[in-house]
Amino acid sequence: VGLGDNNAGYCKREARDEGKENIRKAVGAACRVLQANKMDRIYVDSFGDPESAAEAAALALWANQQLRGSSKRPIKVPDIVMYGDCDWKKWRIGLEKAEAQNFARALTEAPSNLMTPRKFAYSVVQSLCKTSVNVTLRGENWLKEHNMNAFLCNTKGSPQPPFLLEIDYSGCDPAIPPIILIGKGMTFNSGGLCIKTCEEMKYMRGDMAGAAVVVATFKAVANLGLPINLRGLIPLGENMPGGTASRPRDIIKSTSGKTVLVAKQDFDGNLLLSDTLCYAQQFRPKYIVSLTTMSKEIQTSFDLAASGIFTSNEKLWQLLKTAAVHSGDRLWKLPLWEVFEREIKDLTSADLSNHTKFSRGKPCSNSKFLNQFICKPNWAHIDIMGTMHEDGKTLYLRKGMSGRPTRTIIEFLGQIAYPPLDLIKQQKYDESD
């Protein structure tokens, strides 16, 4: 493994910075070899980019062994030390991003019996209580009072109570509109009465990957002290086939007032997020970014290469695209055309359906369903179904839950907090218009 072409940089065809990615691959592979040889400490050179080198080292050395006794852990995690005289600030940023992604990996790897909605909320409070982040937990009675029936519809079959977790970080003037991150927090998805097979449920402990990414992002933002206002909304629950579970063809009234035909209980993500998106509007956000594991067709299309993104806001897309180029964790834009709206609106019994009439175009139709609950075109939806689980082919990530796209979201927020000069000029130009 080498650093590749000395002139490697942004590659339009690959939609990422190949120079940064080459550093991650080389550092990750080298650290794994040294770790296999039981090294206590690894000195890492910057290779001209301390941030990428730090990211790769911390990501490559992490292993899912938190449930094993400290004396029985088979993989020793050595200390990482910056070698030479390089930019310490960039090195620290790289470590914070990697540690945040590792935290998301740890949350997602936890078995569902140990990561129920209540225990997830407790883990969030424990991890964020020492930072400048406020956490509020909304219970089932609060959800009923606010008519979040689509949310509650998904969780009725489980004895585990649902929650809405609110996380608030104020890093600048309170009058500045916040950015809202929404992460799907289905701690286990059996499919409800439309039950999945055992093979389909294999990784469904990771159906809360979006929530894990949001929590990890807040941890990094607080540690880095970014001067932005940020709010996180995480709907937590389990989708189980209990005696009180919602049935196919049930019709429920969402908090927006729109009625929804529950065509298939297995498609829980759009129901869970619809009420949360409505609730998010009251904060008058600058942008809303939602993250879910929703469509297996995304996995079939992109596998681990990229997450799918849906948005009609070009500025928001360019910010997220630039962040993905720098992080190497790519996003690929998919359409929100009106043609997909027919798939979820052409009904006589209800305003909307949570499932398409036909098998084609499901990711786009599901995202178009969520778009019905947005008041302004300031929303982006990221489907991380394909990137949720790593198969071990990435040199700086072990096989298991990936924690992606945590670093991309942190980079996106960093760009908003400290916009590049060309972005500032563009904003001034837009304001003058």
How much of the chain, in percent, has pLDDT values that exceed 70? 95
Minimum mean pLDDT among 171-185, 216-230, 253-267, 391-405: which range?
A: 253-267
**Helical packing angle, 50-61 and 88-109, nearest 10°:** 30
| Residue 425 pLDDT > 60 | no
Six-digit token pair at 305?
A: 């290469």
112-431 CATH: 3.40.630.10
Exposed, middle or buried: residue 182 (CB in 10 Å: 0-12, 13-18, 19+)?
Answer: buried
**pLDDT score for 69:** 79
Confidence of residue 6 (pLDDT cuts 50, 70, 90): confident
The residue-averaged pLDDT of 7-24 equals 91
Q: Is the peptide bond before 241 cis (omega within 30 degrees of 0)?
A: no
393 or 4, which is more confident?
393
318 or 265, which is more confident?
318
| Per-residue model confidence as pLDDT tens digits over 167-220 | 999 999 999 999 999 999 999 999 888 889 999 999 999 999 999 999 999 999
Distances (CA, A) of 407 to 108, 119, 219: 16, 25, 12
**pLDDT score for 71:** 74
| Per-residue model confidence as pLDDT tens digits over 294-334 | 988 999 999 999 999 999 999 999 999 999 999 999 999 99
| Residue 424 pLDDT > 70 | no
**pLDDT score for 428:** 52
**pLDDT score for 198:** 93
CATH of 14-86 among 3.40.220.10, 3.40.50.2300, 3.40.50.720, 1.10.3470.10: 3.40.220.10
Distances (CA, A) of 188 to 117, 137, 141, 414: 9, 19, 22, 32
> Domain extents for the chain?
14-86, 112-431
Bridge partners of 332? 308
**pLDDT score for 234:** 98
Q: How far apart are CA 308 and CA 291, in angstroms?
A: 10
**H or E segment and range at residue 214:** helix 209-224
**pLDDT score for 252:** 93
**pLDDT score for 194:** 86
3-state DSSP percent of the chain in helix, strand and coil, to 5: 40, 20, 40
Minimum mean pLDDT among 113-122, 263-272, 392-401: which range?
A: 263-272
CB 236 within 8 A of CB 163: yes
| Per-residue model confidence as pLDDT tens digits over 331-371 | 999 999 999 988 888 778 899 988 777 677 889 999 999 99
| Per-residue model confidence as pLDDT tens digits over 36-77 | 999 999 999 999 999 999 999 999 999 999 888 777 788 989
**pLDDT score for 188:** 95
| Residue 93 pLDDT > 80 | yes
Six-digit token pair at 40?
A: 């206590």
Minimum mean pLDDT among 93-102, 249-258, 345-354: which range?
A: 345-354
| Residue 267 pLDDT > 80 | no
